[in-house]
Chains A and B, each alone.
Chain A
Amino acid sequence: MAMAALRREGRRLLLSPVSYNSPVAARSAILSDELGPMGARSVSTQAVRNRMKSVKNIQKITKAMKMVAASKLRAVQVRTENSRGIWQPFTALLGDNPSVDVKKNVIVAITSDKGLCGGINSTSVKVSKALYKLTSGPEKETKYVVLGEKGKVQLVRDSKNSIEMNITELQKNPLNYTQVSVLADDILKNMEYDALRIIYNKFQSVVSFLPTVSTILSPETVEKESEAGGKLGSLDFYEIEGGDTKAEVLQNLAEFQFSCVLFNAVLENACSELGARMSAMDSSSRNAGEMLDRLTLTYNRTRQASITTELIEIISGASALTG
């Protein structure tokens, strides 16, 4: 059982593979990282002590990162919840059409720039890839716009021909609407699209993040879909003031809708990123603590074993002299 515990420790400590031929040799090999000359007589506790020091440092760092993420989260969470009201009027007016079937799709995948935030970037990329498969077909075209380094790195592996734009360093200054709207403007100017699908992690609570897709239709698609009836069909009942035509209004609305929805999506993703980082750092601090406990036990065992060995040597030497 002790051997099993040591073996587990060996794996966790990521040491190079050692053969477990004899208990003593194995123990000293794990703990001192090398066999002394003529076999393992001097069992060194130095390696364990070094390991314990580095694990303790790592635990301090991850605890600090967790607190930083928690404090940032509080501020961003308030802004996120306030920004949810920005896109609700659009959905009330235009409805939500996630299953619209169009020729040109642009998938905007929102990921983070920094790592150590758990699995949220992988889930976003997974959803993007699934959506890509769903929206591809004959005569259809789907492209990616990737926000954030982590998403780019994952998507480059197998879909690099479909990436159209990549945006990084978005969070260098605190997020504000102007920045996101300039970004939205850039995307609108450079991409042709019939439908934009924004993929982000919606922030439900500190421990739960839902990958979500928001769909925004281009004005032409809105026209086409309004023939099918439903919310879009009843747009004609509205009276338009100010001398703009319906097409004009729809164009303005589409652009503004994209900007607002993107703003909310970026905020929600930032919130989810901070929450995921908090829980990742929390579990890593806990793991570091457990590792430290195990290492302490091993250290004490080794220390006692070496003391015992010395005593035995002294006593047997003394008895050889007298006897």
Chain B
Amino acid sequence: MASTAAAVPFWRAAGMTYITYSNICASLVRGCLKEPYRSEAVSREKVHFIVSKWADGKPEKPSIRSDSPEA
């Protein structure tokens, strides 16, 4: 019980941001749907993009973030 420090919610203490937290909650809600609506909802959850960080003006190896919408 961290009573001396400011009360940090459990997800923030675990290293998640608010965005990640709300995404997990949203996919839990989507999981509660019944069949025809469920597949439509799952299609709204698809993630795909390619990130590449740059250092000193040169791109490093790009990493693909795909399919699983959670971090």
CA distance A244 to B8 in the complex (A): 8
Given that A185-B71, A189-B17, A243-B7 are contacting pairs, would A163 and B57 also be in contact in the complex, using a CB cutoff of 8 Å?
yes
Most buried by B among A176, A182, A189: A182
Which chain A positions have C-beta within 8 A of B7? 243-245
The residue in A184, A188, A245, A252 that gathers the most chain B C-beta atoms within 10 A of its C-beta is A252
A169 to B50, CA, bound (A): 6
- Asked if B10 is at the interface (CB within 8 A of a chain A CB), the reply is no
Candidate in B6, B50, B54 with the most chain A CB atoms within 10 angstroms: B54
In the complex, the answer to whether A252 meets B44 with C-beta atoms within 8 Å is no
Contact indicator A172/B71 (Cβ below 8 Å): no
Q: Tell me which residues from 20 to 47 in chain B have a Cβ below 8 Å from any Cβ of chain A.
A: 20, 22-23, 26-27, 43-47
Q: Which chain A residue lies CB-closest to B67?
A: A173
Total A-B pairs, Cβ < 8 A = 93
| Number of residues from A at the complex interface, CB < 8 A | 36
A179 within 8 A of B: yes
Q: Cβ of B56 and Cβ of A161 under 8 Å apart?
A: yes
- One of A177, A179, A245 near B49 (C-beta < 8 A): A179
Q: Is B2 an interface residue (CB 8 A)?
A: no
Q: Is the CB of B69 within 8 A of A182?
A: yes
CA distance A56 to B54 in the complex (A): 44
When distances are taken between beta carbons in the complex, the residues of chain B under 8 Å from A290 are: none
Tell me the dominant secondary structure on chain A's binding face. Answer: helix
B49 near A163 with CB under 8 A, answer: no
How many interface residues does chain B have, given as a range? 20 to 34
Q: Is the CB of A178 within 8 A of B18?
A: no
A178 touches B54 (CB 8 A): no
Q: Which of B27, B43, B47, B49 has the most CB of A within 10 A?
A: B49
Give complex CA distance A255, B56 in Å. Answer: 28
Instruction: Name the A residues within 8 Å of B18 (CB-CB).
Output: 251-252, 255-256
- Nearest neighbor of A170 in chain B, beta-carbon distance: B49
Nearest Cβ in chain A — how far from B60, in angstroms? 10
B49 touches A166 (CB 8 A): no
* Residue in B12, B20, B53 whose CB lies within 8 Å of A165: B53
* Residues of chain B within 8 A of A170, CB atoms compared: 48-49
| Contact (Cβ within 8 A) B69 A178 | yes
Chain A residues contacting B47 (CB-CB under 8 Å) are 173, 178-179, 182
A178 to B67, CA, bound (A): 11
In the bound assembly, the distance between CA atoms of A248 and B17 in angstroms comes to 11
**B17 in complex: contacting residue of A163, A166, A169, A255, CB < 8 Å:** A255
- Interchain CB contact (< 8 A) of B54 among A164, A188, A244: A164
Using Cβ atoms and an 8 Å threshold, which residues of chain B touch A174? 43
A185 near B49: Cβ-Cβ < 8 Å: no
- Cα of A168 to Cα of B51 in the assembled complex, Å: 7
A189 to B54, CA, bound (A): 15
- B65: nearest chain-A partner, CB-CB: A182
Residues of A within 8 Å of B46, CB to CB, are 173, 176, 178-179
* Interface residues in chain A, defined as those with a beta carbon under 8 Å from any beta carbon in chain B: 160-161, 163-170, 172-174, 176-179, 181-186, 188-190, 243-245, 247-248, 251-252, 255-256, 259
User: Could you pull out 11 A-B pairs where Cβ atoms are within 8 angstroms?
Assistant: A165-B51, A166-B54, A167-B50, A169-B48, A172-B48, A173-B46, A178-B47, A179-B48, A183-B49, A185-B19, A256-B19
5 new A-B pairs (CB below 8 Å) besides A169-B48, A188-B17, A244-B9?
A163-B57, A165-B53, A176-B45, A245-B6, A255-B19
